Chains A and B, each alone.
Chain A
C-alpha cells in the first residue's frame, strides 16, 4: 500500500510537509510507525529541517549514511548550503530509479539550473505525486504553462483529490489566470485558514492569489498574518513589498526588511539588474540642445 495514501500512516507527516508546516513534521512522533516507513519519515523530517534552514545539522545527521535516500538528502542539504557542484555530483551518482532520489535529485538539479536533467530524472517516476509537483514547478519556471497544465491534468486523472495535485493545480492556476485565480485562492485559503493545516507558506500563497485577484486589502491581511507568524519569511516580505507598490504606498522600510531577511532574493537581484538596465538604456537618448 502507498504509505502516503489516505489510509497510509505517513499521510499526516507527508501533508504537514507539503503544507509547509515544517515544525510539525519535525515534532511528528515517528516511534509508532512501522519499520518500512521509518526511513521515509526520517527523510521527510530531514527535509523539513533543511527547509527551516538547518541544512548544516542535516548534513551532519546523514554523514556516512549509505542509503541512497539519505545521500540524496545530503545532496539537498549541500545544495541549500551553496555547494551546488558537489550536490549535483552526488545526485548523478545515485540510483536513478529510487523515488526519493528522483524527487530530491530533481530539486537539486533544478536548483542548480539544470532543468533538463531535472526533468529527465523526474520523468522516471512511477506515480509519485511529489515528482509530478516538481515537474509542474519546473515547467512553470520555464514558462511552459501548457506542459505544466498537461502534467497536472494527467495527474488529476489518477490521483484525484490529493493535496499535492491541488497545490500543483493552483500553481498552474495562478499562471493561467481568469477564473482559475479564484479556484487557486480557494485551495490556498482552505489550507491557510484551518488551524490544523495553516502555515506561513499557505498564508503567503493565499495572499498571492488575492493579490492576483485584485483584492489588495485581503491580501494585506493575509500577509500581515504571515509576517506575524514568521517575521523574517522572505517571500512574505517580498509579496508585501509588491503589494505596497501596487497600492502606491511607501516601500523604503519594507525593502530594507527584505534586504535584511534575504539579500539575494530574486526581487532584489532582479531590481538591481533592471536598475542597471535602465541607466544603460537611458544613455541612448539625450536632448538635442543641452539645458539653456
Chain B
C-alpha cells in the first residue's frame, strides 16, 4: 500500500457534515445535501456556491440530479421527498408517504421514477410526473440504507441494516406503467401466474436475490455499470463484491482494509477499480480483478459518509464531516514532449507514440511502457533527447521513479523496451545531449547523470524544491512552492530567483528567449535570465500553454484557449468543450492532446493576437495587411485600440461616422472630425468640434462650426480676435438685418463704429445713450441733432463723468488669413505608414490598396477630404466675395460641396482587371498578360538580366492574346471584354491572375517531346528553335507551387543543354562538307573537337549516345583511335540500344590495337569541363567563367556583357534576383 500519491483534489468545500452528493451529468456542478438541512449547489470548477435550497427540516441524506431535465430530488429526515427545479430555484412538489428518515433518493435513467430507501424499512418507487406512489417494496426488516436502479435492466438493489443486500425485479412495474399495449388473455394469465405475489400481495416488484454475507448492517450498495456485479459496504468494515447471473447471485470476494464502518462504495465508471469510503477517514481504491488495495487516501479528522462518481468524466466526490471534496484518482495530463515537428507522448495504454505536425500523422506505437511504475499509475513526464533518440519517463509510482529508454528507429508495435536504465526520482529531464538531471524530493538532491545512468555530479537544490525544469543550456529551473530559481549546474548555485507561487509547469518559447511559468491560476512570463516580463491571473485553472512562433503564448484553461502577448495583453482565442493540453501552434492550427491522450487539431483565428502583436511591435505593414485582409472590424478591437491609446489607428477601422468623429476628436485629427461632423451635421458635434478646434488654434474650423451653429456672438468675437474686420462688418450687417440690437451694438463696439452705435440707439429710442455716446466721442454735431430730435437742451441733462472714448485696438497681424501654427496634430506612424503604402508604388501593397474596396474608398475619401477641405476654403472665399448676408446660405453651399464630391466618386471608369493583374503579381508573365509590357521587361531585366527582348515578342503577344474573351452583349455595342483567369475558383479581385498559355505541363509534355524528336530525327536546326522556344516560354510563365518551380528550373537547364549541344553540332556541320574538312587539317581538328564537345552537355542518355556515336565514328575515320576508344567506352558504359553497343564494341576492339590519335585535338577525355556556349571551347573546372542568369549556360569571361546565345535574351554575367515563377 502506497501513500496517498495519485489522488488529486480538485475542489473542497467547508460546511457541516455532507450526507448526500450528486454530480450534474453535463455541467460542472455538484449537489451536496448536508446534515444541517441545507442543500448546496456548487460549481466545482470555479469553486463557487451557486445556490442553496433550504426547505427540509432536519438532515438531508439523499440527493440526485435528473439526467436531462433541470430537476433534482432530495430526501430527508423529515420523511419528505422533494423535487426541485434548479432553474426556478424552488421546490416543485413534495412526495409524502415514508414513515421514517429517508436515506437515499435516485431518479430512474429513463422512466419518470424516483427510488427511495427509508428507515421505515421500505423502498418505494414514485412517479414524479403524476406525483404518485407506484410501488412499495417491503422485505427488509431493518432500516433500508440505500436503494439504486440498475443502469440498464429492470432491477433494483438495496442494502439494509438487516445485514442483507437484496436485488429486486421491477419488470412487472415497468409493464404495468409503460404505455398500455394490447395483451392477450393468455398473456395476462401467464403474467398473473409467473409473478408470484409476495406475502403482501405485491406483484410489481419481487425479490430476486437476497445476498447475505455481511455480518453487520450494510450501508451502501451499487451495481456495476456494465457487468453483472454488485459492490456493497457495511458496518462490518468490509467491502464485498457480488456477482449475479439470471438465476442466482453469489459472493465473489471481500476487500478488507477499512478499520471502521465502511459507509459508501462504488465501481469506477471506466476502469476495473472499486472505490470505498469509510468512517476510518479513508478513501480506498481496490483492484476489481484482484481485490487488492491499490491506493488509499486518508483525511486527518473527517469521517467519510458518502462517495459518488461523475457519470462521464474522471471525477469523484466524497462527503465527510466538514464538507465535500471533488477529486480524481490519477492525472489525466498525458506525458508529452515536443521536438521540432514531432510530438512524443504516452497514451492511456502506456504506449509511446509520436505525431508529425507536418504530415498531421500519428505514428504506430513506438514502445510499450506497461512495466513502468505500477499498473494504475500513468507516467508523469516525458523528456526527449533528439541526439540519442531516447526518452526519459518519470512515474510517481513507488515514491517516484524514472526510466531512460532508447526509442526504436521506427515503430513496429507495442514492443517492450529492450534496454532501459532506471532509478529513483521525482523529476527527471534532459539538460544536455548526454546529461540528465534527476530530482529526488525526499532527499532533496539533484543528480546530474550521464547516459549510462552514472551520477556525474550532485548538489542540494534550494530548500523545498518540488520540481525541476530545463533552464536553458547549462541551467536548471528549480521550482519551490514559493519561488523559481535559475540554477547553474556548473557553478552549483542559483544565479537568479523569482518569487512565484506554486509553479507547476514551465513552457519555453521556440526561440528559447522566454519561458512561461504556469501556476494553478497564474501565468508568469519570464526571460531566459528569469526576469519577469509579465504576469496574468485567471480565475479558472490553467492547464497548459504553448508558444506561437511570433512570441505569443497560447494557453488553455479548463474551458478556453487564450493568448497573452509578452506585455501581458491577453484575450480569448476560442472556447473548449473539453479539457485539452496544448502542445504546438502552427498557423491557424493548435495541436493538443486530449485527456484520452489523442492528438487533436483545433482551428483558431489568430488575427486578433497577431494584430495586437503587430501593434506592440509597431509592425505597421503587418497591421495594414491584417486590416485589409481580414474582417477585423469590430467594436472590441476599436475599444481595445482606444483603450491602449491608439485612437488614430482605431480611426482606420471605423466607418460609423459617430465613432469616427469621437475617435478623430480624441486623437486630434480635425480633418476627419470636420468631415464626419459634416456628414452627421448635429449641433452637439459642431459644439464639440468648435471647442476642440479652438484648443488646437485652428480658427478656420472654429469659424465654420460657429457658422453652422449660428453662434453670431461667438463668431463676432472670433473675427475680432483674428482681426478680420471685413467679416466683422458683415456680422454687423447681419445683425442689423436680423434686428438683433444687442448683437449690432456689440459688433459696432468691436468695430469701433461710433456712428453706427448712435444710429442704433436712436433707432431704438434710447436717445440718452445715443447722446452720451456721441458726446463721449466728441461728435458735437450729432449731439445737437439728438437734442433737436428730442426737443431737449443741454442744460436739462445731467451728465455723468465722461471718460476717454473707447476705440478697439487695431489688428497688427492678419491672423484670419491663415491659422496660427496649430497644436501639432499627431499623425501617427501608422497613418504615415498607411499613407506611404497608398502612395508608394511598391507593387504588391499598392495593389492591395488600390484594388480592394476599402483601399479604394480610402483613396477616394482622401481625395474627398482634400476636395472638401478645398471646398471649405472656397466657401470662405465665396463669403468674401459674395458675403453671406443671410446666415442660412452657408449650409446649402456646403451641402453642394458634398454632392459634387459624391457624384465625382460614383462616375468615371476604373482600371480593368488586366491592370490589376500587374499589381497583383510580381511575376513578369502576369504583367505581360495585363498588357503592361514595360513593367514586365523591367522585371525580367531585374530578375535574369534580360536585355534583348525581340525574341520574346511572340511569347509576349501569345500570353497577351490569351488573356481576354469577347462576349457579345447588347446589340450595337462592342463585345464585352472579359479576362481569362488561371485562378478559376477565385473571385477576390485582389487575388485573380491571368491564364497562361503553354504552361509548364504543356511545355514538358509537348514542346520538350518535339524537341527530343528533332534530336532523334537529326533535325537540329528545328531542334534549336524548339528548345529556344521552350526557354522563352518558361521565361514568361507562372507555376502553381514551389515544387513546380524546381521542375521549371529542370526544364530550363535541359533546354539549355540541348540548345548548346545542338549548336555545337550545327557549328561543326557548318565547317564544310566532310571531304573538304578532311583535307584541311585545321578544319579537321576543329571538327573533331566539336564532335567531342557535342558529347559533353548533359542531355538525355539515348541522345548522348547519338552524340557519342557521331564523335566515335568521326574519330575512327580520322584515325584518332584513342579518342574513339574513349567514346566507345562511354557508349558501352551508358548501355542502351544493342545496335549502338555492338558498333561500339567493334570500334573498341579495333581501337585497342592502336590507341593513338592521328590528329592532336583539344579534348581531354579525363578532364572535367563545360563548353562555352558562344565559342564552343572548353571551360575547365577551376577557371573563371560567366553564365547566363536565366538558363545557366556557361561562357568564357570575355563574353561578359554580350547577349546569351542560348536564350538570346539575357546578358551574360549580369546577375539578377533570379527568375520568379511563383509568388
Contact = CB atoms under 8 A, between A and B. Distances in A.
A288 B948 CA distance: 11
Interface string A231-269: 000010011011001111001000000000000001100
Contacts of B998: 248
Interface string A217-237: 000000000000000000100
Interface in B948-962: 948-950, 953, 956-958, 960-962
A160 to B, nearest CB: 21
B997 A278 contact: no
Contacts of A177: 981, 983-984, 986-987, 992
B1202 interface: yes
Nearest to A80: B972
Given A111-B973, A211-B965, A178 B957 contact: no
- In this complex, which of A145, A251, A275, A281 has the most chain B Cβ atoms within 10 angstroms of its Cβ? A281
Chain B's interface: helix, strand, loop or mixed, by majority?
A: loop
Contacts of A110: 973
Contacts of A144: 908-910
Given A142-B910, A271-B960, A239 B984 contact: no
B1047 to A, nearest CB: 18
Interface stretch (A32-40, A89-97, A168-176): A168-176
A142 B908 contact: yes
Given A50-B972, A288-B1214, 8 more contacts: A20-B968, A133-B969, A144-B910, A178-B986, A242-B965, A245-B958, A274-B957, A290-B1202
A47 B971 contact: yes
B129 interface: no
A137 B977 CA distance: 10
B957 A275 contact: yes
A76 B909 CA distance: 24
Contacts of B1070: none
Interface stretch (B226-234, B267-275, B302-310, B931-939): B931-939
Contact of A137 (B956, B970, B1214): B970
A118 B693 CA distance: 45
A111 B970 CA distance: 11
Contacts of A50: 971-972
A107 B1174 CA distance: 60
Nearest to B910: A143
29 contacts: A80-B972, A107-B973, A108-B972, A111-B972, A115-B909, A116-B907, A134-B973, A137-B973, A141-B973, A175-B978, A178-B987, A179-B987, A205-B968, A208-B965, A212-B978, A235-B975, A239-B966, A242-B965, A274-B933, A274-B960, A277-B933, A279-B953, A281-B933, A281-B949, A282-B950, A284-B934, A285-B946, A285-B948, A286-B947
A17 B972 CA distance: 12
Interface in B868-920: 906-913
Interface in B1155-1198: 1174, 1198
Contacts of B956: 274, 278
Contacts of A204: 966-968
List the 9 closest A-B pairs by CB distance, nearest first: A178-B987, A288-B1201, A289-B1201, A142-B909, A282-B949, A51-B971, A245-B962, A143-B910, A285-B947
A119 interface: yes
Nearest to A134: B970
A178 B985 contact: yes
A211 B997 CA distance: 12
B1186 to A, nearest CB: 11
A108 B979 CA distance: 25
A143 B913 contact: yes
A137 B965 contact: no
Contacts of A238: 966, 975
Contacts of B937: 281-282, 284-285
Contact of A140 (B962, B968, B976, B1211): B976
Contacts of A42: none
A248 B1002 contact: yes
Contacts of B960: 271, 274
Nearest to B1199: A292
A22 B970 CA distance: 12
Given A142-B908, A144-B909, A282-B949, A208 B967 contact: yes
A214 interface: yes
B802 to A, nearest CB: 70
A89 B323 CA distance: 98
A245 B963 CA distance: 9
Interface in B984-1019: 984-987, 989, 992, 995, 997-998, 1002, 1006
Nearest to A116: B907
Chain A's interface: helix, strand, loop or mixed, by majority?
A: helix
Interface of B: 853, 906-913, 931, 933-934, 937, 941, 946-950, 953, 956-958, 960-962, 964-987, 989, 992, 995, 997-998, 1002, 1006, 1174, 1198-1203, 1211, 1214
A156 interface: no
Contacts of A279: 953
Contact of A278 (B910, B933, B980, B1211): B933
A224 to B, nearest CB: 16
Nearest to A266: B974
A286 B972 contact: no
A51 B946 CA distance: 48
Contacts of B908: 142, 144
Contacts of B1199: 289, 292
Interface string A199-217: 0010011001001111000
A47 to B, nearest CB: 6
Contacts of A239: 965-966
Nearest to A267: B966
Nearest to B1196: A292
B433 to A, nearest CB: 53
A79 B968 contact: no
Contact of B913 (A115, A175, A245): A175
A180 B978 CA distance: 13
B968 A212 contact: no
Interface string A131-170: 0011001001111111100000000000000000001000
B1134 to A, nearest CB: 33
Given A79-B972, A143-B913, A174 B967 contact: yes
A271 B953 CA distance: 12
Nearest to A233: B968
A239 B975 CA distance: 11
Contacts of A201: 968
Nearest to A237: B966
A235 B968 contact: yes
Contacts of A287: 947-948, 1201-1203, 1211
A146 B906 CA distance: 10
B976 A211 contact: no
A121 B2 CA distance: 95
A174 B980 CA distance: 9
Contacts of B961: 241-242, 245, 251, 267, 271
Nearest to B963: A242
A242 B964 contact: yes
Contact of A246 (B907, B948, B962): B962
A284 B913 CA distance: 27
A194 interface: no
A177 to B, nearest CB: 5
A278 B957 contact: yes
A289 B970 CA distance: 55
A146 B853 contact: yes
Contacts of B910: 142-144
Given A274-B933, A278-B957, A266 B977 contact: yes
Contacts of A285: 937, 941, 946-949
Contacts of B953: 275, 278-279, 282
A291 interface: yes
A73 to B, nearest CB: 11
B992 A143 contact: no
- In this complex, which of B948, B975, B998 has the most chain A Cβ atoms within 10 angstroms of its Cβ? B975
A288 B980 contact: no
